[in-house]
Amino acid sequence: MPNEPASAAVAAFQWTRRKLLASIAFALSAGSVSNAFARTISGSVPWLPFTASPPEVAPAEGWAFFTQEEAVTVEAIVERLIPADDLSPSGKEAGCAVFIDRQLAGPFGDSRKLYMQPPFHIGTTTQGLQSGITPAERYREGLAALDAYCRQTFSGKNFAALDPTQRDQLLQAMEDKKLNPADPADQRALFELLLQNTMEGFFADPIYGGNRDMAGWKMIGFPGYHYDYREYVRRYNEDYKLPRLPIGGRAAWNAGEKG
């Protein structure tokens, strides 16, 4: 008999809990039933691409951040960081400079989403660059310093006017902190940023201005962003037959066609 009150309390709690969970489940189902519709996928695209959050497409023409002179310099740099060979076009041909330009014109360029207040300390290699200088400022100041150095050293020629061997030597000097003895870390930081952004532009989705004609994806065999790969998961050592699919979708989608 002493256990009866405790048992009754437990039973009452369980009943109250069941009613609470049942009411929550009913509320959720009632609230979602108007928007939840089953649909059979059969021979057509089961959704309208990007109706919820359409991606921002990089402008196809012109420069959003670089001046014409800066753009020529960056194209000459990315052409040497990723030179053309039998595997892929060069970084310039793949649009890496366009990618960098569009990124610098956006949130990446002014670091608006990062904490940029001092103090700044030299961190470890895994902590990234510790600086109050934004990427846009680093590019603008660094490219100007690079071209000034070239004109002084090579009889008035800017970086883009140098031959490939000379360009490679200068980029190597930037990486080795030997180009600007007064501030070696600054040119090394610019080189590292250029290299990182060039690689990003070579492999990023074409919608951002780089990876023109999906050249980077073709080189590594990346098929893009298809809806479902389950049919191919266990089919080893086979070429993937479907066309590469960027974020922007296939041309047929953009033309309003199905399939």
Q: What percent of the chain has pLDDT over 70?
A: 70
Could you tell me the two tokens for 34? 């108007």
Residue 92 CA to residue 73 CA, distance in Å, equals 11
Closest to 227 (Cα-Cα) out of 48, 51, 45, 50: 45
Position 211 pLDDT exceeds 90: yes
pLDDT at 24 exceeding the cut of 90: no
pLDDT at 187: 86
| pTM of the predicted model as reported, rounded to 2 decimal places | 0.73
Residue 234 contacts by C-beta under 8 Å, 6 or more apart in sequence? none
* Domains in the chain: boundaries: 73-220
Q: Which of 213, 168, 214, 217 is nearest to 191 (CA)?
A: 168
Write out pLDDT tens, residues 179-188. 876 665 588 8
Q: What is the pLDDT of residues 223-256, one digit of tens each?
A: 998 878 888 888 888 888 888 889 887 766 555 5
10 or 213: which carries more pLDDT confidence? 213
In terms of Cβ atoms closer than 10 Å to its own Cβ (0-12, 13-18, 19+), residue 82 is buried
In angstroms, how far is CA 149 from the centroid of its own chain? 31
Please state, for a pLDDT cut of 90, what percent of the chain lies above it. Answer: 46
Interacting residues of 209 by C-beta distance below 8 A, sequence separation 6+: 58, 95, 98, 99, 101, 102, 201
* pLDDT at site 259: 44
Task: Confirm if 197 and 100 have CB atoms less than 8 A apart.
Answer: yes
Residue range 146-159, pLDDT digits in tens: 999 999 999 999 99
| Alpha-carbon separation of residue 167 from 122, 182, 238 (angstroms) | 29, 21, 41
Separation of alpha carbons 212 and 219, rounded Å: 12
Torsion of CA 182, 188, 189, 194, to 10 degrees: 130
Question: What's the confidence (pLDDT) of residue 192?
Answer: 92
Greatest distance between any 2 Cα atoms in the chain = 105
Q: For residues 73 and 143, is the Cβ–Cβ distance under 8 A?
A: yes
Least confident span in 68-72, 126-130, 190-194: 126-130
Q: How far is Cα 195 from Cα 199, in angstroms, rounded to an integer? A: 6
pLDDT of residue 117: 80
Please give the Cα distance from 87 to 247 (Å, whole number).
24
- The mean pLDDT value of the chain amounts to 80
Instruction: Report helix, strand or coil for 62.
Output: coil
**Which tens digit of pLDDT belongs to each residue from 4-17?**
555 555 555 455 55
